[in-house]
Chains A and B, each alone.
Chain A
């Protein structure tokens, strides 16, 4: 049976591989929610292809807006796939470390959060 350390490493490596493949292979079609938004604003039919240049109408008035450091899992146009790779790998490792650290702290004897 795989020990904990090996399980952690293998699990993280598989996740990083999935994320890396995603950078190159993921579909660029709008996702379910975006697609629904396009259907509702009349830019796409329910079963039809998504138009290349279709944009979702955003109501910004009275809505919160936030500029994330790596929007759309990328580091900007000029970085291309390399930027995407860095973003996804960083996100995967961060999700891993945040949860590992949090659970570790919570489970550490004599400590409470």
Chain B
């Protein structure tokens, strides 16, 4: 769902950039002040991993492919939606500048969709569902699914405002395709969390760790 330069008028791109920069600023502040120094290796590895998985277009039938976003994964394991904003912004800069994947004027919109919306939806839906279900895999799966679907719908709305897509057709097509991509996103997110928890449980945010077994209730 990387919006290319031609899809959005420049002035609208500037508006999205202005909004995105507020979140990027907050994300940099998060990295400076709130991020535990010991998480440094995880942040770097997630940046590489998210770049790699985003380059992997998986077939989702209906003549369409899709790649994972990774916003929910970053926000969940690092315990902050700003982690997703931080990492996704860096990944989007590399993708846009070096590979022309996502535009320059539209990078703000892409940061908003995948980093901000993906991160916040992923993080807070994970927290909420986790509180209700007490299950990491169930919560992470649903959170990642939503963090793939909702940015896609936001993208459809932006494309409508740009005059590129009609609203309903855009929402339906983007919604259907990303609802399917989101299932893969959910599975991979849960698998990645398990993998990281296995090798470095200390790096994963405490909210993710399974509840310690209590012998007597």
Contact = CB atoms under 8 A, between A and B. Distances in A.
Interface of A: 1-2, 4, 7-8, 10-12, 14-16, 18-19, 21-22, 25-33, 35-37, 39-40, 44, 46-50, 58-60, 62-73, 87-88, 90-96, 98-100, 102-104, 106-107, 113
Interface in B1-59: 1-10, 13, 28, 31-32, 35, 37, 40-45, 47-53, 55-59
Contact of B49 (A11, A67, A106): A11
A72 to B, nearest CB: 7
Interface of B: 1-10, 13, 28, 31-32, 35, 37, 40-45, 47-53, 55-67, 86-87, 90-91, 93-101, 103-105, 152, 155-156, 159, 164-166, 169-170, 172-174, 176-178, 181, 199-203
B99 A70 contact: yes
The binding surface of chain B is classed by DSSP as: helix
A32 B47 CA distance: 22
A32 B63 contact: no
Contacts of A46: 62, 172-173, 176
27 contacts: A4-B41, A7-B42, A10-B199, A18-B53, A19-B51, A21-B56, A22-B57, A26-B57, A27-B59, A32-B1, A33-B174, A36-B159, A36-B169, A37-B164, A40-B169, A46-B173, A63-B8, A63-B105, A64-B13, A66-B104, A90-B98, A96-B44, A96-B48, A99-B43, A103-B43, A107-B35, A107-B37
B16 to A, nearest CB: 13
B101 A22 contact: no
Contact of B41 (A8, A44, A64): A8
A47 B62 contact: yes
Contacts of A66: 5, 100, 103-104
Nearest to A6: B199
Which of B8, B55, B97, B174 gathers the greatest number of chain A CB atoms within 10 Å?
Answer: B55
A69 B172 CA distance: 34
Contacts of A96: 44-45, 47-48, 51
Contacts of A15: 45, 48-49, 51-52
Contact of A104 (B40, B94, B95): B40
A106 B6 CA distance: 35
A36 B3 CA distance: 12
Contacts of B101: 72-73
Nearest to A20: B52
A100 B100 CA distance: 23
Given A7-B199, A31-B1, A96-B44, A26 B52 contact: no
Nearest to A93: B48
B104 A64 contact: yes
Contact of B199 (A2, A59, A93): A2
A29 B99 contact: no
A69 B55 CA distance: 17
A87 B99 contact: yes
